[in-house]
Chains A and B, each alone.
Chain A
C-alpha cells in the first residue's frame, strides 16, 4: 500500500494523487486554491495563484503537487509578503539560488502541443525542418517572446533561452470567464475545468451549466442570459434572465460556464517579428461575449464595469488608455480573463471591436532570479597593476569601466608625495590609439579643433574632441611619431566612444588611415613630482624629454613610450609600456624611489592635484552641451582652420550671448560638497562641479558653473562668501610642470 502523499496548505496537510496539480488537490478537499472566482485550470486566469515554495503568484493549476510542497494562499486583500531577503543576507545566505540558463539555437519552434501545434510540427518535419516543440504540459512554460525571435521559457531545471529562426504559436483558445455580480464566489468552473475535475473523480454536487454544457459532466443546463451568482462565500444559486424578461433563480453547488472562447494569443502579441506566426485556435477570430453590464471585469485587479463606465464618461476611448487607467489587463493573467470583456465594452459603444492590447513579457509571473538568469552586470576591467594596488592597501572603486585605486589609505600623504617628492599613479586606463596612413594628418586636422599638421615629430599637443554641435565629448593628447603616424590619448571613460567616433569619421571621409587601439595592450604609469626626473635618471632615462615632448626609451630595461606632460601640476612622465611588463616596472619604480619618499597616489589625490591646476575632467566638470567658450577653453580652438568637426556650430553661435561659464571659485575653510549650489544675491546662479581643500593653498578651491549673466565676481557657496577667479589656483605660470 502506498503511503499517502501530502502537500501543506496554510499549515494544514492535504493529500494529493499522482499527477494532480496543487489546485486540484486543494479543490478535492472542498476548498478553493485562491479566494474565489471562476477556475479555468488551464493557466489562463489568476484565480488560483498562491505562494508555492516561497514563491508568490504561482498558478497552482499549472503546478504539479509534490510531497511536502508548502503552499500559502495570498492575503485576501493586498499582495503577498516579499521574500525575507534582507534576513537571508544577514545570515550570510544568498537571497535565492542562482537560476540555471540553458541557451539553445533552434530552427522552427512550435509553442503548444495541441492539435494545431502537432499539425504544424508534423508539416514542418515533412518539409525537412528541425522542429522543437515547447509545451507547458511537458514542463516547459514559455513566458515571453522577444525580438530575434528569442523565446524565454521556464523549465524544471531553470530557464531556457531559445533563439529560433521561426516560431509558431499554437497555444489554442481560452474559455471566457463570467462578468456579473457574484463572479468572485467559490464553486464557479469553466466547462473544461469541470470536465477535468469530474474525470478526476471529484463530486461537483448539484451542478448547473450556463451556455454550452461540458461533455459528460452531470449538470442541469440553464437557458437565458446570466445575471448574477448568489451565495455568501460559495455559490448557492444562479440567476438567469429568460427571453421573456423574467429572472429565474436556480439553486446549485457548482456553476459551470460555457460562455465561449477567446484566442490564447498573448505570446504572439509580444512581438511583431515576421518570423513569429500563429496557428490553430490561437489564430481564430471568436465572437466577443455580450458587453459586461455589472460586476468585476478584471479579477486580478478588482476593476469593475462601473470603473470602465466612469472612464468612458470622462472621455477615455482607446483600449490601451482604458487599460492603463482602469488597470484592466495589467494583472496576473495579463488580460486572459478580462480582455474579451473590455473589447466587448468598447465595441458596444463604438460599433467596432478594438484590436487586443499589446502584450509584453512575461506572460507568467517569474521571479527576479528567473528574470535575471543569464544576465550579467557590466564587466569592469582591471589594469595589470590591480593586485599591486591591493597589496599596497588600495581601496579600489569603479571608474570609467575600470577598477582603479581611489586611495591607498591616506590621500593627503599621496598628495604631498606628488607636490614635494615623487609619486607613481596607474594611468593604464587612458585610451591609447595609434593612427597611421597617408591621410593621417588630414584626418586629425578635420577631427580636432587644434592644429595637428604643425606638431613636429617627438612633440605633442593637448586637444579637445568636439561633436558636430561644438560640444566637448572628450580630450587628450596628440603625439606625433612620424610624418604619417601619431599616438592619440583619450580619457579613461571616453576612450571607447572616442575610438568609434574616430573610426566613423575616417570611414565617412574616405581617408586612408589605419587605427589600432592599444588601450588594453599598453599599461601606463605616471611618474610625477619634483623628483620624478631624478628617479627616472636612476633607472636609465638619461635624456628625459622636455615638456610636451616624448621619446621611446628603456626605463629599468622596460621599453617605454615616455610622454612628458602634466595633469598634476608637477613634472610628470607617463610611461606607456607593454602590459606584461607593468608589474616589473611598478616595483622597480617604487624600490628605486624609496629614499626619495615615493608613494603611489590614487584618484582621490589626483582629483585634488588637477583641480588646483584648474584642469577639467570631461563629464565631471563639463556638461553634455559644454562648448569650448563655456569652458573657457577657446585657446584650444583654431577657428582659422578651414574645417573640423564642430566648427560650423561654433562659428554660428560665436556671436550669440551665452549665460553659461565654467568658473573657478575659492574661499577660506574646508571645501563644500561637490554639487553645492552657487548663489548670488539670494538666487541660485550655478553649482560646484569639483571641490578640494587645498593643503598647499590653505583654502577651498573649486570649479563650477555660472548660469546667469552678468557673471558675478562674488558668490556664496555653502552659506559662505566665495570669490570667482580664473584658474589655475596653483602655479599659474606652469613653471613647476616645465621644470
Chain B
C-alpha cells in the first residue's frame, strides 16, 4: 500500500527571475509549481530570494512518496489520463485517480506528492 509521508520544505512565491536564481545545490530539490511559485523540498526559511516582495513560508502541506520506476508504472500510471513527460527531471501536475497531485520525475523514479488534505483519498484510490 502506498505510504504518503509528510514532506518538509519552503514555499516561495516571487518573480520568475528571483525563482530562477534560487540555488538547487545542497541537496534541496526545487519544484517549480508555477512560473512564480516553487516548493523547495527540504529547503530552509532563510533562503535568499532576490525579490523584496517575495512570500517565503514554511510548507507543511504536502505529503509524498518516492517510487521506483516499476512502482510508478504499476501504481500511478494506470490512474493518470495524461502523458508523462519524456525528459528527466521533470515536474508533472494533474489528476492521479481523480486527486490533484504532482509527480517529480527523476532518472531513478518519481516523487508522488499531493496536499496532505488529499492524502487519504489518494492512498485509498491507489490501493
- A residues with a Cβ closer than 8 A to B are 101-103, 105, 161, 163, 374-384, 386, 402, 434, 436-438, 440, 484-485, 512, 514-516, 518, 520-522, 578-581
How would residues 22 to 42 of chain B score, 1 for a CB under 8 Å from any chain A CB and 0 otherwise? 000000000000001100000
Q: Is the CB of A381 within 8 A of B53?
A: no
Q: Which one, A101, A105, A378, A518, contacts B83 given CB within 8 A?
A: A105
Residues of B within 8 A of A102 (CB): 78
Closest A-B pairs by Cβ, 9 of them: A376-B98, A521-B61, A381-B117, A580-B60, A379-B121, A520-B115, A516-B13, A578-B60, A514-B13
B83 near A578 with CB under 8 A, answer: no
Q: In the assembled complex, how far is the CB of residue A521 from the closest CB belonging to chain B, in whole angstroms? A: 3
A522 surroundings in chain B (CB, below 8 A): 61
0/1 interface trace, chain B 49-75, chain A, CB 8 Å (1 if under): 000011101111100000000000000
Chain A residues positioned under 8 Å from B61 (CB to CB): 518, 520-522, 579
User: Which residue of chain A lies nearest to B77 when distances are taken between CB atoms in the complex?
Assistant: A103
Main secondary structure of the interface of A (DSSP, over half): mixed
| Contact, CB under 8 Å: B60 / A579 | yes
State the Cβ distance, B124 to closest chain A Cβ, in Å: 10
The residue on B at minimum CB distance from A428 is B117
User: Which residues of B lie under 8 Å from residue A376 when comparing CB positions?
Assistant: 97-99, 125
Chain A residues whose CB sits within 8 angstroms of the CB of B55 once the complex forms: 434, 436, 485, 514, 516
Closest to A435 in B: B55
Assembled-state Cα–Cα distance A376/B126 (Å): 12
Q: Which of B13, B54, B59, B78 contacts A521 (CB 8 A)?
A: B59
A520 CB contacts on chain B under 8 angstroms: 61, 115-117
Contact digits for B77-101, partner A, Cβ 8 Å, 1 yes 0 no: 1111101000000000000011110
B residues with a Cβ closer than 8 A to A are: 6, 11, 13-14, 36-37, 53-55, 57-61, 77-81, 83, 97-100, 115-122, 125
Q: Is the CB of B11 within 8 A of A521?
A: yes
Q: Given A376-B125, A381-B117 in contact, is the A434-B53 Cβ separation under 8 Å?
A: no
Q: How far is the CA of A484 from the CA of B116 in the complex (A)?
A: 30
Decide if A163 touches B83 in the complex (CB within 8 Å): yes
Contact B98 A377 (CB under 8 A): yes
* Chain B residue, CB-CB nearest to A515: B13
Chain A residues whose CB sits within 8 angstroms of the CB of B77 once the complex forms: 103
CB distance from B15 to the nearest CB of A (A): 8
Given contacts A105-B83, A379-B98, 12 further A-B contacts (CB under 8 A): A101-B78, A103-B79, A161-B81, A163-B81, A386-B120, A434-B55, A436-B53, A440-B53, A515-B13, A516-B37, A518-B61, A579-B117
In the docked arrangement, what's the CA distance between A465 and B67, Å? 43
A402–B53 alpha-carbon span in the complex (Å): 32
Contact partners of A438 in chain B: CB under 8 A: 53
Asked if B60 and A512 sit within 8 Å, CB to CB, the answer is: no
Residues of the B chain whose Cβ atoms lie less than 8 Å from the Cβ of A512: 53
Provide 26 A-B residue pairs closer than 8 Å at the C-beta atoms, listed in order of the A residue: A102-B78, A103-B80, A163-B81, A163-B83, A376-B99, A376-B125, A377-B98, A379-B100, A382-B117, A383-B117, A384-B116, A384-B117, A434-B55, A438-B53, A485-B53, A514-B13, A516-B11, A516-B13, A520-B61, A520-B116, A521-B57, A578-B60, A579-B61, A579-B117, A580-B6, A581-B60
| Cα distance A116–B70 in the bound complex, in angstroms | 38
CB < 8 Å neighbour of B36 from A105, A514, A518, A579: A514
Tell me the complex Cα distance, A651–B13, Å.
37
Q: What residue in chain B is nearest A482 (Cβ atoms)?
A: B53
Which of A103, A484, A518 touches B78 (beta carbons < 8 Å)? A103
Can you name the residue of chain A whose Cβ is closest to the Cβ of B59?
A: A521
Nearest residue, chain A, Cβ from B58: A578
How far apart sit A376 and B81, CA to CA, in the bound complex (Å)?
12
- Bound-state Cα–Cα, A138 to B60, Å: 51
Q: What residue of chain B has the Cβ atom nearest to residue A376's Cβ?
A: B98
Closest residue of chain B to A384 (Cβ to Cβ) is B116
User: How distant is the Cα of A141 from the Cα of B123 in the complex, in angstroms?
Assistant: 32
Give Cα A507 to B97, complex, Å. Answer: 31
Instruction: Find chain A residues with CB under 8 A from B115 CB.
Output: 381, 520
Shortest CB–CB separation between residue A279 and chain B, in angstroms?
A: 26
Identify the closest chain B residue to A581 (Cβ): B60
Minimal Cβ-Cβ distance residue in A for B95: A376
| Bound: A580/B115 CA distance, A | 12
CB–CB A379/B118 < 8 A? yes
User: Nearest CB to that of B11 among chain A residues?
Assistant: A516
CB distance from A673 to the nearest CB of B (A): 33
Q: Smallest distance from the beta carbon of A386 to chain B beta carbons, Å?
A: 8
The residues of A that contact B58 with a CB separation of less than 8 Å are 578
Residues of A near B37 (CB, < 8 A) are 516
Nearest residue (CB) in B for A102 is: B78
Contact B60 A514 (CB under 8 A): no
Most A CB contacts (10 A, CB to CB) among B11, B57, B79, B116 go to B116
* Alpha-carbon gap, A438 to B53, bound state (A): 7
CB distance from A368 to the nearest CB of B (A): 18
Min CB distance, A155 to chain B, in Å?
A: 14
- Residues of chain A within 8 A (CB-CB) of B100 are 379
Q: Is the CB of B83 within 8 A of A437?
A: no
Chain A residues within an 8 Å CB radius of B81: 103, 161, 163
